[in-house]
Chains A and B, each alone.
Chain A
Amino acid sequence: MKKKMISALLVAAMVITTITGCGNAATTTSNDSAEATTAESGEKILKTAASFAYASLDVHKDYYGWYTSIYGVSEALFKMNENSEAVPCLAEDATVDGNVWTITIKKEAAFANGTNLTADMVKRNLERVAEVNERFAFVDDFTIDVVDDKTLTITTQEAYPTLKNDLASPEFGMIDLDATTDFDNDPICTGPFVMKEFNPEGDVTVARNDNYWGKDVYLDGAVFYYMQDDDTKLMAMQSGEIDCYNSVSSAAMEIYNADPDTYNVVSIPGARLQFYILNENRLDASVREAINLTVDKDAVASYLSGTVSAAVGPFGTNTAYGKVTGPVVDTAKAVELIEADGYTKGADGFYEKDGQKLTVNICYYAARSLDTIALLMQEQLKAVGIDSTLTCEEDPDATYLTTGDFDIALYCMIADKCGDPLYFINSTIASDAVYNVGGFKSDEAQAMVEELRGEQDTARRAELANKIVQIAIDDNAFGYVGLFNNTTVLRKGVSGFAENVPFDFYGIDANTRME
């Protein structure tokens, strides 16, 4: 009996070793042969890591369109360029006359199955987006008319100056609604790549669309490995198993920067903003100003080692609507303001008034480096004599942003969704904004918000946006700390992985190359 047990254990050990050994050999052989095939046939297959993976490829639902766009499978009528402008993609042009937009579709635009993209198909796509995606339900209020095979008009109830930008959202990617039978796994779209293998919430493989309506597609295909861990991505890059990826961590960036012969690191300010809301219902104007004069954004950006750029306003300074001026760090003036407001320094080094210590409650959630920012702010405020407590919540929307129980509320969101300032202003500064929870109110700003909502002229829109944001900054209603950098690492010879576009929803396209 005992002999049998020992023998069984030994046999099990041998079997495991053998199987593992064989498995290793088999897999290695398989990998090697895949590489060999690639090399022999000269196929250019880009391998990259994706931080997110979804269960569906239905372009119109949720945010899945972001990923079909990243995979190079779907395209919208317009796309955002490096300067945050909506430029034609499937559409030839869009003109507006009052409430009526006329959109012309490119003659050559076609789906991967060769079917031409018609105005009727565009209309039905827009209607489907409104039907299946709650965020775009407003499209249902539009009247869409097909003028001819390649022209359609969209009539909005009120002037809708940002329609072109909205139509650049990847959720408006076009699907051949007649030919597609499986929207979740194999939508037929217009992009330079077609789906080859889709593992829901896993890896994705795409192949070149041989019927692509646009120019030549350089790559033969690409593989998107679902990989969330930064260390895993770094090691996969070092071992040569992937060729590029974005959202590079600061630790990994240092390693890549140390080897410029092998890696090319591209970092540009993105559209995701870290900011804080100052509660006007609780903090005096002088204290709010003192806080804004104390928080050192450059120090924060420096501490975060290249993952963010110090922000002046909510938008990148390269945009026409990002021309505002923010407070410059001046701790002496901050102290002066606090003292002029009747505060005196107590024995513990913190200011107090009427026996009450000046203590601010900084609320934050531990994501997007906001926890680090909260700590840095606490230290910086302490240096000028403002005491602070840190309150960490798991869900800011359900807690401090809903209750208003904060002095300083840290938050992170996409500020520039589609190359226009209205979305952010509507979300944070307008009187009915979801995140105007700190009591900011300005009739002058609100009047300009109303004007911005209907203004068609781009230059005037930028001017209005700059004025509105400047009022909020001057009122010390907010503090714009940093814009997350879109950092991409590419192996030498790889390019065109949307590394110069500040939006998160682009990846490979016809221009993506690997030497």
Chain B
Amino acid sequence: MKRTVKRVLELIVILMILSFFTFLLMYLAPGDPAEKRLVSQGVVVTKEVLDAERERLGLMKPFFIRYGEWLFGVCRGDFGVSFKDDMPVGPKLLAGLANTLQLAGASMLLSLLISIPLSIVAAFRKNSIADHIIKLFAFLGNSLPNFLISVILMYFFCIHTKLFPIIATGSLQGLLLPALSLSIPISGRFLRQMRQEFLMQISQDYITGMCNRGVKRRYIVGNVLYNSTAHVLNIVALQVGSLMTGSVVIETIFRWPGIGKLVMDSITARDYPVIMGFVLVMGTVYVVINQLVDVCMGCLDPRIRMESEGHHDKA
């Protein structure tokens, strides 16, 4: 309980620091939300109109007043309204986050389904043809840019074979291609890292012992998998964070209204309330994922938990 309270307090401090510096950086960066909004269609406005809009958006107030007002609002659960369209920021972020969560979840699942079996094959058949092919796939997955993978998949599945429609957002069908586009590069990374970890486990004495005792291959694979779980969890956790921030390219190509595109559009429009909301949400997501991984690691490997507790005791 004490540790949980401490972690929550740490999270609050992190978010405070993060929000202050983000607000400061946006304040210092060139760009004017009022101007971006008024001239968004290429129509020029007069200085009077611009000043009136700045006044309306509260941009003429001093930095600390603006930050204070924003912070006060957030403490009351109000993220403010978007500078771009006057719509409340909270629902915008929630909608984007929900879509990103779906896409990230599907991509992660696909990536694991692709990479775990393939890296087992690659590790247990090191230097075989299968291993070389899998390594080549990992290399290609890592090297190809996202947009190219997306367009190739779209062309193959939607134009060439006509298995999927181009316009399919909102359905499972619409989810599969963007998820696959995201999961191919992730699988490439996972394959290399997991293969390495499995090879390390295979080289351990307990595996040599199992092999010498004639233990069946599936039990050996099970042991390797089980003992690699902590490491795999770490790899996955690192990826979850970046997946949750969304992918502008994938979201744009597949018309997936996720948080990545939302925040990129907001940066272009200097939509400070949305950017600030995004930073808070993502800061929380990252911290929570880290804490969850810490807890999971402790459960999976008691040595880590004991080490951590020992460290705390000493502290």
Instruction: Show the binding face of A for B, using Cβ within 8 Å.
Output: 1-3, 5-6, 9, 12-13, 16, 19-20, 23-24, 26-28, 31, 54-56, 61-63, 66, 134-135, 137, 200-203, 225-229, 231-232, 235-236, 238-239, 241-242, 272, 393-395, 397-399, 412-414, 417, 423, 427-428, 434-435, 504
Contact = CB atoms under 8 A, between A and B. Distances in A.
Contact of A239 (B41, B151, B166, B176): B166
Contacts of B294: none
Contacts of A232: 154, 166, 253-255
Contacts of B253: 229, 231-232
A238 B159 contact: yes
Interface of B: 30-32, 35-47, 49, 52-53, 56, 82, 85-87, 109-110, 113, 116, 151, 154-155, 158-159, 162-169, 171-174, 176, 218-219, 221-223, 225-226, 252-255, 257
Given A232-B255, A414-B43, A434-B46, A23 B172 contact: yes
Contacts of A412: 42
A28 B174 CA distance: 11
Nearest to A233: B166
B173 A24 contact: yes
A289 to B, nearest CB: 27
Nearest to A232: B253
Contacts of B40: 62-63
Contact of A236 (B39, B167, B176, B257): B167
Chain A contact residues: over half helix, strand or loop, or mixed?
mixed
Contacts of B31: 394-395, 398
B225 to A, nearest CB: 7
Nearest to B223: A2
Contact of A435 (B30, B41, B42, B44): B44
B50 to A, nearest CB: 8
Contacts of A200: 87
Contacts of B257: 201-202
Given A2-B226, A55-B85, A504-B41, A241 B167 contact: yes
5 contacts: A24-B163, A134-B38, A201-B257, A232-B254, A399-B30
Contacts, number: 143
Contacts of B30: 393-395, 398-399
A504 to B, nearest CB: 7
B252 A5 contact: no
B46 to A, nearest CB: 7
Contacts of B46: 434
Contacts of B162: 239
A434 B43 CA distance: 12
Given A24-B163, A397-B32, 8 more contacts: A12-B113, A27-B172, A55-B82, A63-B41, A203-B169, A413-B42, A414-B41, A434-B46
Contacts of A428: 44
A135 B257 CA distance: 29
Q: Which 5 A-B pairs have the closest CB atoms?
A: A2-B222, A23-B172, A398-B30, A427-B44, A236-B166
A200 B39 CA distance: 21
Contacts of A3: 222
A20 B254 CA distance: 17
Nearest to B31: A395
Contact of A16 (B32, B113, B173): B113
